């Protein structure tokens, strides 16, 4: 499951990189043909990049929320859960050792 999720994310990032390269090529071509000024092309590229970043951040947040919810429903122990259990066991062991050998029998 996690492996296929990683592959999907990497594919999305790859598509974004390719799209950015194609966009740069299209904008350069429009500037060369005189249909778009260099300044306008730069502003458009920045606007598109900013929008892409915003969408990526929103998608990442939604994905993280969905994964947390899925893991919670699947009842998997997460690192946080294991750490809490380790801390509880350590406290219990420390309390038991303070009680002395008589309490251990």
pLDDT per position as a tens digit, 13-40: 666 665 777 777 888 888 888 888 888 8
Instruction: List the one residue out of 56, 46, 39, 55 whose CA is nearest residue 23.
Output: 46
- What is the rounded distance in angstroms from the CA atom of residue 60 to the CA atom of residue 26? 28
pTM: 0.46
Report the pLDDT value the prediction gives residue 70, as an integer from 0 to 100: 82
């Amino acid at each position: 499951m996690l492996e296929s999720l990683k592959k999907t994310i990497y594919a999305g990032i790859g598509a974004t990189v390719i799209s950015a390269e194609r966009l740069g090529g299209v904008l350069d071509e429009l500037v060369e043909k005189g249909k778009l000024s260099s300044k306008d092309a730069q502003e458009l590229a920045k606007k598109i990049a900013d929008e892409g970043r915003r969408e990526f951040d929103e998608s990442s947040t939604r994905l993280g929320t969905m994964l947390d919810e899925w893991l919670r429903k699947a009842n998997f122990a997460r690192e946080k859960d294991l750490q809490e259990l380790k801390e509880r066991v350590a406290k219990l062991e420390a309390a038991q050792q303070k009680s002395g050998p008589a309490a251990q029998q």
